[in-house]
Amino acid sequence: MSIGSAKETPVTVTRTVLCLVLALGLLMLASLHLGLRVYSPATVWAALGGAEGTDALIVTTLRVPRTLVAAAAGAALALSGFLMQAVSRNPLAEPGLLGVNAGAAFAVSLGVVSFGVSGLGEIAGAALIGALATTFFVFTLAAFAGPGGQAHTVLLAGVTTAAMLAAFTQVLLLIDETALETLLFWLSGGFADRGLDLLLIGMPVLMVGLPVALALAPALDALRADDTSAAALGVAVIRVRVLALSLAAVLAGGAVAMAGPVVFLGLVAPHLARRLPIKSGQTLGSAQLALLATLVGATLAITADIVARLIIAPQEAPISAVLALVGVPVLIGLLRRGAGARA
């Protein structure tokens, strides 16, 4: 058989998942090696084995936590974005663009300034309340516009809400300068200087959120067409929508509690997951897309974190600026596609 006539092995979902897991593992290892100081594998291995010294301290107390936080926050934001897009049938839905991250940040700032919130549990609770309240506020506003132009209406409502909440947050920080010093770095968003204790917030949310999202997958598949068809198939449309949006808000709130407001990740990761090489003619279900989006989100977050460390070394670029390099073109492309579909 000639090379030209040889059949290519089809790329299956399982193979794609394995490739993503491998890529994620390699990127996590690279994250431990790369930064202002580049370490050899021997140095990193010794640090993980309990070695002492400055290099070991940097690896174990700085790079390991930021790598794990980046993976957890990226996965949570990606899964949150996927759920928002699936349940609203809106390709522009994303925690950052819809103001969910800003709502969580405002709630945390309000808690710190007005109620003395300081513990991890209190911060997580404030972030989750803010994320839930903002999610339902934005989608309620958009619902008044009806189905026509819903994607753009949701985006406009989200951006406006985010701007309003960001302004309120700035006012709170001006009132309390101590809170400003405490929260300013966190509010800028990022994975640097995060401790392992933050994973006590993010990991339970993710470990519960992913199985629940997978359990909701059949109902989300039914919602792809329209509410009437889904109801005819026995889906409790309103209950599924409320549950999925609540789960998306909880995931976004957990991510914000760990990393602060990070935009575009929840928008880009689900769309990249849909465009991964899969066997021709194979349609991805919501369960497969949820898993792929979660892995893509973690991979993208760690990649962006590494780039942020290196692109303007010895300084560090804002993580949202790095993600915007990918997110803005994706957003423009989606808007242009929507405009073309209506033309």
| DSSP labels, 129-190 | HHHHHHHHHHHHHHHTT-STTHHHHHHHHHHHHHHHHHHHHHHHHHH-HHHHHHHHHHHT--
Q: How many CB atoms lie within 10 A of CB 91?
A: 19
Contact between residue 310 and residue 85 where contact means Cβ atoms under 8 Å apart: no
CA distance 337 to 90: 12
Q: What does residue 204 show for φ and ψ, rounded to 5 degrees?
A: -60, -40
Which among 213, 201, 84, 85 has a CA at the least distance from the CA of 136?
84
On the question of a cis peptide bond just before residue 329, with omega within 30 degrees of 0, the verdict is no
DSSP 237-261: HHHHHHHHHHHHHHHHHHHHHHH--
Q: Per the structure block, which two tokens stand in for 199? A: 């994973």
CA distance 230 to 188: 41
Q: Per the structure block, which two tokens stand in for 14? A: 């399982």
> Is the CATH number 3.10.290.10 carried by domain 13-342?
no
Per-residue pLDDT for the chain (343 aa), expressed as one digit of tens each?
Answer: 333 433 444 568 888 999 999 999 999 999 999 988 999 999 999 999 988 888 999 999 999 999 999 999 999 999 999 999 998 888 888 888 888 889 988 998 899 888 888 777 788 788 889 988 998 898 888 777 655 445 677 778 888 999 999 999 988 888 877 777 767 777 778 898 888 888 888 899 999 999 999 999 999 999 887 888 888 888 888 899 889 988 999 999 899 888 888 888 998 999 999 888 776 566 788 999 999 999 999 999 999 999 999 998 888 888 888 988 877 887 777 667 654 444 4
- pLDDT of 21: 96
Contact between residue 94 and residue 264 where contact means Cβ atoms under 8 Å apart: yes
Contact between residue 262 and residue 75 where contact means Cβ atoms under 8 Å apart: no
- pLDDT of 6: 39
Contact between residue 253 and residue 124 where contact means Cβ atoms under 8 Å apart: yes
**DSSP, res 7:** P
Domain boundaries, the chain: 13-342
CA distance 144 to 167: 25
pTM check: above 0.75: yes
